[in-house]
Amino acid sequence: SQASDVWSLGAILYYLAFDCTVPVLGEDCNPRIPSTSARPGPMIDLIRAMMANDPSKRPSCDALLHLPQ
């Protein structure tokens, strides 16, 4: 489904953003962002949104294509 594709893309972005580490999921099944992260806030927000446990809360592919640059 499109939601699972968005989750997978979020996992790839996490992997690239955090020095090739596999996403670690918390007890709520959402990604845990390293506390020492110096990544920009919008990037962290995007990863969290794309990897949301609830598929209905993930952005659509169309929404991702129209994000501000």
Q: Quick one: what percent of the chain has pLDDT higher than 70? A: 96
Q: Tens digits of per-residue pLDDT, 38-64?
A: 888 888 889 999 999 999 999 999 999
Q: What is the pTM of this model?
A: 0.83
Dump the DSSP string for 19-63. Answer: TSPPPPB-TTSSBPPPTT--S-HHHHHHHHHHT-SSGGGSPPHHH
Q: Which residues contact 52 (CB under 8 A, 6 or more apart)?
A: 7, 30, 58
